[in-house]
Structure 1
Amino acid sequence: WTLVSGQGNIQNPSSPTTAISNLGVGVNVFRWTVSNGPCAPVSQDEVSVSVFSNSVPSANAGPDQSLCTPVTSTTMAGSAITFPATGTWTLVSGTGTIASPNDPATSITGLGVGVNVFTWTVDNGPCGAPTSDQVTITVFDGSVPAADAGPDQEICVPTFPNTVTLAGSPVTFPGTGTWTLVSGTGTIVDPADPNTLVTGLTVGANVFSWTVNNGTCAAPTSDQVTILVYDQANPVANAGTDQDLCTPITSTNLQGSALTFPATGQWSLISGTATIADPTDPNTQITGLVVGTVVLEWTVDNGPCANGITSDQVAINIFNGNAQQADAGPDQEICSTTSSVVLAANGAVGLATASWSVVQGSGTFADATDESTTVTGLSVGENVFRWTIDNGACGLSFDEVSIFVFDASNPVANAGADQEL
């Protein structure tokens, strides 16, 4: 026996069954040479004694990895082996080309988007059964866009079902998307589906967030969508009752119909002068009013409901608190030969109205609302006429004038016959 390679102490080189000691880990090659004198040429044969290390660890395929396209290759990190132990990489699922299947640190190319699983198997000969471990190479699609929760939506209940289909941006596996409820109500049928149904929506604003996690390609991104649910029962616009004011009051509060969110209301000035404190408040204050009439309009927008947009107007009448009280003018005296008189009252100011009426006697007014009207049909005697000014919120006032009509046929003075006593 002779040592060809490796190491080992041959106890009895001439014995076919000699013991060998001090073998080294690896392959130790020994040659057996037989010399049979002149009978034949010398013959030789070699034998390999493989010594496996008992300290070789079980297979470890290394940590899972995540990649982002356009990167589609990586280097493996399988556990080291000590010759003559062997290790072998195999593809379990997915795609990928193994450059050197027996190299713990081989490169892998051609990885496809998705989950690619490889097994590292270590065979340590007689030291134990082969061991295996798997590693997952997850490849994310770098072209997946940032999260987009889709356009806001509006529905009306109970006109329409209180169910909507969301429209989140698509994701490519192994990227994931998740819907969550931010505020309001709603049951998400499938939180991982970009186009999931949402049920159980209630009147108001219901906000949902779509979060896309695309692994190593980028930090997770999120976007929100608002589903506005309008109430069909929200009343149509009502601007409230007209109001009468008297200066010095120059402000008031409006009385528009109430709103059920997300319905909105808007006050607008149609005519006159006024400053609207909060145009969206049904009960807003208005200031800066002047004598006259201010017309405002309350418009309610109830979204997609049947009574979508409705409007109503209200008038604010501001009367002049400094206006003169009614003055019917001076009394007059005429003779019955005169068929009419012209009255001389003061006129109404601003929004105030005025009219003549007969209190005593008789008379026909050419225009009962004209302070300087002509009166005919007067009777002999005292004819009393009342001039009334209605100044709205400032109050009523009246004054009376007497027209004395003397009888033209009344005899001239006659003192009677002289008398003697």
Structure 2
Amino acid sequence: MFGFNTRALHLGYEAFALIFKFLHVKTTKLLTFIAALWLLPTVAQSQCDLITVNGSTQMPDGVCAPVTFGMEAHFEFLVPVDTSLVEILYRWNDAANTETLVSGNWNAAGDSVWAMATHVYPPDDECSKTAEAIVVYDGELCVSSGYQSQVFATWGTDEENSGELLIDPVTYYVCEGVDVIDFTFADNSTFNCNVNIEADRPNRLDRWVQFFYNSYNQAGDRIPDVTVRDSSGTVHSMTDGSGNYITDLYGPVVRHPYPADGPTETSYEITAPAGGVAGDIFEITLRNWNVCNPYDNTPNDGHPPADIINGDNPPIETTARIEVIAPTPVTVPALFEYCTGDNIVLSATAGAAEIRWYKDATLDTLLYTGSDYYPEQPPFFLDRDVPGSYTFYVTTFQGICESAPTQVDLEVYQAPEPALAGNDQTICHDTITLYANNPSAGSGFWTTTSTANILSPADSATQVINLEFGPNLFTWTITNGPCNTSDDVIIYSDRQPDAADAGSDQFLCDMNPALLAATPPNYMGNGIWNVVFGSGSFSDSTLPAALYSGAALDTNILIWRVSSRYGACPVTSDTVLIASDRNPGVALAGADTLLCETNTLGLSGNVPLNNGTGIWRAHGASGTFADSALAVTTFSGFNYGQTKISWNLTSRLEICPVSSDTLFIQRDQNPGIANAGMDKAFCLVTQDTLQGNLP
């Protein structure tokens, strides 16, 4: 079933009204109209089907880009339509995909519309374009019934739209020392939009071509003595013997009328004798016109353009040249030196030029092409393990030119055996004889970094004097050509320090630690303390002024040994006596004593400390000690009166001060028994004589 909508019903009523209004129409047209009416429900869904007539007209302003292109399109509908729903879309199909949407112009009945739009096409790589006009009905593109297109040409000069102006060759190279004889250039251009590019609408209209000789578009020195022979045989001198400009020459402007289907022109013959140097050039210019920049705007009026040289429009141009070249000079050492066993490679550079290696100066035997040549490879097969001398020849090739050969020599030397400088040594002298191995190939030589004097540096056995104190580095190098081997030996030259001096003997009382005073060793020698007899320890046994602690309470013998910096010289030594004594204490003889008649006194002195000794002494008095060395002893036989004795303490080694204490003894005689006489009685006697006994 067909679907209906209100717009379709409205159209149906209008259609029936038209039937009765126009019954005089032809039967065929009426039948067509009735058939369309029958399909109205479907047309409501696709109003594009109501378009029954369409057409378009193109109006370009020319064929040479930029082209301003106008397109008029018209469309007729079977019945009047709502004109507000119809637009015309122009698709220009250019590189930017530009589109133009217009409303159009309607007739009074509303069943016919026409529109006009323009667009500018710039030069590009296409020779023809297709413009399209499409009815847009209520947003729907009527791409079938409402479609029109116009195809037209867009040409350009012969360097646009896939055209290319080209001379063949662009550069003609000639080697230094070679003549240029009757050389010609050819026009090898691709004409714009010609048949080989655009088959439908090719640009086969007139072309004009001209060669211009000795142009100066390209900078550079000119080839000397260049001549050009024209078609009549006349020879024109272009440059003098120094390459200076003499004149230039315009060839004829040759017209190629329709169909101009490709280039045909060649230049005049150009000649130059050998004499140019690399970089010299001779330039020609190809000039071209076509329908888009015609040489003559009215080519068929029988009159030339006002500007005979450049025509009515500027030509397009391109250049070509003859150039003198020489291969880039080769940079290569005259001599390569290698050792047997080496990877042998001969290297040369020549910029962008090709490098060729030959076996002979006549260049008959090509060995290799490239910058790095390995002669061990075929066809030469050099043996790297065999010494020998060889000669090669190298050239450079560039373009069409090959340089003269350069001789290259190769010397393969026998690699020397490993150098042996001998073993490192430490000596107590400033002279020595060095011994190295004798070379079987090449020669040897001694060198040193010290100030020592090598008496015979080229001899494997040589005396060396004035060795520096300390390490002396000597190198024995065996050289054969570029080949060398070396070995180092270090000679440590030692110096004898002065004889050891341990300092003066020391006698010490209650001193711990003791400060030693040995003489420091010179020549960076080393000293060390040791205990030979006694005991004790050192704060640092390597210091001459070490602190000596814990000495035995006795005589101690210390030794100071001095050795050289590197231990190569004799060791000297010296001893020092350290007598370490201790205070015996303070002598205490006891309290002074008073005696009556008794001539014997028990003494009790204090016992000496630290193994000291004590002794009792009587000072200017009689009396004897039972044992004067005992602290507790008896003293007897002393006289009446005062007696002075002392208790004296002495240290073990008698180094410390003697301590003494004095004891006084007072001995008195007994006076006897007192006798006062007989008792007496007196009467009235007031005085009497007493008669006591004498003491």
Query: 1:280-295 counterparts in 2 under 5 A?
Result: 280-287=542-549, 295=557
Structure 2 residue aligned with 1:279:
541
Q: 1:85 to 1:291 in 2, by over 3 A?
A: same
Q: 1:105 to 1:291 in 2, by over 3 A?
A: same
Structure 2 residue aligned with 1:118:
389
Q: 1:227 to 1:363 in 2, by over 3 A?
A: farther
Q: 1:84 to 1:121 in 2, by over 3 A?
A: closer
Q: 1:394 to 1:106 in 2, by over 3 A?
A: same
Higher relative contact order (CA 8 A, sep 6+): 1
Are 1:251 and 2:519 an aligned pair?
no
Which is further off, 78-87 or 135-144? 78-87
Q: 1:175 to 1:342 in 2, by over 3 A?
A: farther
Q: 1:140 to 1:245 in 2, by over 3 A?
A: farther
Query: 1:204-219 counterparts in 2 under 5 A?
Result: 205-212=469-476
CA contact (8 A) 2:614 2:647 kept: yes
Structure 2 residue aligned with 1:268:
530
Are 1:64 and 2:332 an aligned pair?
no
CA displacement, residues 102-148 of structure 1 (integer Å, 9 cap, x when unaligned)? x994414663xxxx562527699xxxx99866443333345545x65
Q: 1:85 aligns with which of 359, 362, 373?
A: 362
CA contact (8 A) 1:154 1:229 kept: yes
CA distance in 2, matches of 1:336, 1:357: 22
Structure 2 residue aligned with 1:229:
495
Structure 1 residue aligned with 2:465:
199
Structure 1 residue aligned with 2:433:
165
State the shift of 1:362 in Å: 3.2
CA distance in 1, matches of 2:603, 2:436: 82
Which is further off, 268-277 or 287-296? 287-296
State the shift of 1:208 in Å: 0.7
Specify the code of the residue in structure 1 equivalent to 2:338. Answer: Q
State the shift of 1:386 in Å: 1.8
CA contact (8 A) 2:552 2:580 kept: no
CA distance in 2, matches of 1:193, 1:386: 89
Structure 1 residue aligned with 2:562:
300
Which is further off, 211-220 or 360-369? 211-220
Aligned positions, number: 327
Structure 2 residue aligned with 1:420:
689
Query: 1:122-133 counterparts in 2 under 5 A?
Result: none
CA distance in 1, matches of 2:424, 2:438: 11
Specify the code of the residue in structure 2 equivalent to 1:210. Answer: F
Specify the code of the residue in structure 2 equivalent to 1:229. Answer: R
Q: 1:331 to 1:344 in 2, by over 3 A?
A: same
CA displacement, residues 266-317 of structure 1 (integer Å, 9 cap, x when unaligned)? 1113455533122121111234568666543222346777x84333033152
Q: 2:662 aligns with which of 392, 400, 407?
A: 400
Are 1:140 and 2:415 an aligned pair?
yes
CA displacement, residues 66-112 of structure 1 (integer Å, 9 cap, x when unaligned)? 34xxx4x8757498237771799xxxxxxxxx999xx994414663x
TM-score by length of 2: 0.38
CA distance in 2, matches of 1:351, 1:169: 72
TM-score by length of 1: 0.58
CA distance in 2, matches of 1:165, 1:395: 64
Which is further off, 360-369 or 277-286? 360-369
Identical amino acids, percent of aligned pairs: 20
Q: 1:349 aligns with which of 582, 601, 609?
A: 609
CA distance in 2, matches of 1:229, 1:171: 34
CA contact (8 A) 1:150 1:167 kept: no
SS for the counterpart of 2:496 is strand
State the shift of 1:64 in Å: 1.0
CA distance in 2, matches of 1:84, 1:313: 91
Specify the code of the residue in structure 2 equivalent to 1:65. Answer: Y
Q: Gaps (5+ residues) in structure 1? A: 1-53, 89-97, 156-161
State the shift of 1:256 in Å: 1.6
CA contact (8 A) 1:268 1:297 kept: yes
Are 1:242 and 2:519 an aligned pair?
no
Q: 1:83 to 1:137 in 2, by over 3 A?
A: closer
Q: 1:140 to 1:382 in 2, by over 3 A?
A: farther
Q: 2:454 aligns with which of 179, 185, 188?
A: 188
CA distance in 2, matches of 1:151, 1:365: 75
Specify the code of the residue in structure 1 equivalent to 2:432. Answer: V
State the shift of 1:327 in Å: 0.6
Specify the code of the residue in structure 1 equivalent to 2:689. Answer: E
CA distance in 2, matches of 1:165, 1:369: 73
CA distance in 2, matches of 1:99, 1:168: 35
CA displacement, residues 182-219 of structure 1 (integer Å, 9 cap, x when unaligned)? 5xx643334565543232357xx431113355789999
CA distance in 2, matches of 1:163, 1:377: 85
Q: Gaps (5+ residues) in structure 2? A: 1-326, 348-355, 366-374, 396-403, 679-687, 691-695
Structure 2 residue aligned with 1:10:
none
